[in-house]
Amino acid sequence: MADVGRPLKEFDRKSFVDLVGLGCSQQEICWFFRDETGKPANVDTLSRWCKREFGMNFQEYSAENSGMALKIRLRRNQVKLSEKSAAMAIFLGKNYLKQTGSVIVENPAQTSAIEQIAKLVLGDPTQSKQEDPEEEEKE
């Protein structure tokens, strides 16, 4: 018996996998696979093709494979950026290495030494600022 109906639409498998990996939506992938007139592919056609190729519809395939390539690229770019950006290095340190901006001291003797150094560097917050004698003359 001869096949009846329109020929099955085919999509480039590698392009499809790359687009899903980048986190593209079904509509964006359909737009990518436009025909010669510029009309995007039909979402149902893409989903049926996906079912034939991968044994699952677009939503199922996308849920399993979406965004992995994107996450890898973003992490790679963040690490590169951290070499030049202190803010990115701090962000990565806090989020991936669980670093914090606070100092944890377990020895009480070290605590008092650190407090004394902080007072020298930052000033003693318990003492009020000494007024500038020049400021008093201006008033």
> Is 2 contained in some domain?
no
Q: What is the largest CA-CA distance in the chain?
A: 108
> Is 61 contained in some domain?
yes
**CA gap 58, 24 in Å, rounded:** 11
52: exposed, middle or buried (C-beta count within 10 Å: 0-12, 13-18, 19+)? exposed
State the chain's mean pLDDT as an integer.
Answer: 82
- Would you give the distance in Å from CA 47 to the centre of its chain? 28
**Would you report the helix, strand and coil content of the chain in percent, each value rounded to 5?**
60, 0, 40
Residue numbers of the domain that contains 115:
77-124
Q: Is the pLDDT of residue 121 over 90?
A: no
Q: What number of H helices and E strands is found in the chain?
A: 8, 0
Task: Look at the chain and report how many structural domains it folds into.
Answer: 2
- Predicted confidence band of residue 97 (pLDDT cuts 50, 70, 90): confident
15-30 pLDDT per residue, tens: 999 999 888 999 999 9
Does residue 54 sit in the same domain as residue 86?
no
Q: Is the pLDDT of residue 128 over 60?
A: no
Check residue 74 and give its pLDDT: 85
Direct distance between the N- and C-terminal alpha carbons of the chain, in angstroms, rounded to an integer: 106
> Is 54 contained in some domain?
yes
Check residue 45 and give its pLDDT: 94
Boundary (domain end) residue, out of 22, 37, 65: 65
> Is 55 contained in some domain?
yes
Does residue 61 sit in the same domain as residue 81?
no
> Is 132 contained in some domain?
no
Does residue 24 sit in the same domain as residue 55?
yes
Check residue 13 and give its pLDDT: 95
Q: What is the pTM of this model?
A: 0.54
Q: Is the pLDDT of residue 118 over 60?
A: yes
More confident residue, 110 or 105: 110
